[in-house]
Amino acid sequence: MYTSRRLASVRQSSARRGSVFRFWGGVALLLIWWWIAWFGPGPLSEHAFFPLWLGYILAVDGLTALRTGSSLIARDWHRMALLFIISAPLWWLFERANAILGNWRYITPRPYELLEYVLLASLAFSTVVPALFVTAELIRSFAPFAPERHWIRLGRGNRSLALIALLGVVMLLLALAFPRYCFPLIWIGLFLALDPINAVLGNPSITEQVRVGRWDTVLVLFAAGLTCGFFWELWNVYSMPKWVYVIPFVDRPKLFEMPLLGYGGYLPFALEVYAAWSLVQGLLAGHDPHWVRFTEARQAKKGIA
């Protein structure tokens, strides 16, 4: 009995040291590469996006572990690594759609060869899904987001799932066919098209939660999307390479490079990321029901609001 308790104590102490190391190591990495992104020498600053956001991911994951005793990396770093792999091709889908929509473009310090551009961009895009997920895990640990939130029930039965998926496909087609007027639909259409498929396959699904009146995961993902969106736009503003927006009708006022109304797109974008992850994760590795916990009600850690 004593040996078991001793081993448990050692493991807890080791886990806490790992959390502290991730948090402070991530903060240091973030601050160093933030400075390099804005003020560093050109050749180095061109490669700042990935290490800056890796620092953010490590710091937020470490803080979550310190608050709750667990985190995505602590529970299964292999699944965390898969988030990076899933993330890049997912964002390339949006890049392909933007070739038609024309809502943003990149400013680069020099011309890039195609292969160099694809590799550098893919490395940067690989941080999108991990950043959203660690942020959602942290947000769930705060008291306002901890409990279940119940509201109206939307959609019942397989027929409603088919209608939701069809609506999503129609939205995607409208956005691509009439980009000047229907471009916002791209940010909700993919979610509506994919998430009902997850419900049918038995994967984690926002649609399935909403069908029984649960909206807390939606709120958590909305908050995570806005939080990451703020930092994406903040760190972009003085960086090079950077992106700028060309958005019809709502290009003013701006917060950083993003039109203020454009931040609303980060709300459904977070839902799309979750739906795409759920589908791909289910196909590639299966779902561990205990790994992603920002979909579960929890109590905030005592003493920390």
Reported as a single tens digit per residue, the pLDDT across 212-231 is 889 999 999 999 999 999 99
pLDDT at residue 15, rounded to an integer:
73
Model pLDDT for residues 111-131, shown as the tens digit of each residue = 999 999 999 999 999 999 999
> How many CA atoms are closer than 13 Å to the CA of 40, on its beta-carbon side?
18
Read off φ and ψ for residue 252, nearest 5 degrees: -140, 150
How confident is the model at residue 301, as a pLDDT? 47
Name every residue whose Cβ is closer than 8 Å to that of residue 137 and which is 6 or more positions away in sequence: 60, 61, 64, 71, 72, 292, 293, 294
User: For residue 299, what pLDDT is reported?
Assistant: 66
Please report the pLDDT score of residue 158 as a whole number. Answer: 77
Question: Could you read off the pLDDT of 76-115 as tens digits, one per residue?
Answer: 999 999 999 999 999 999 999 999 999 999 999 899 999 9
The pLDDT of residue 136: 98
Identify the residue with better confidence: 72 or 15.
Answer: 72
Residue 251 has pLDDT above 90, yes or no: no
Greatest Cα pair distance in the chain:
69
Average pLDDT for the chain: 89
Q: What is the mean pLDDT of residues 143-167?
A: 86
Q: What is the pLDDT of residue 9?
A: 52
- Rounded to an integer, what distance in angstroms lies between the CA atom of residue 52 and that of residue 30? 5
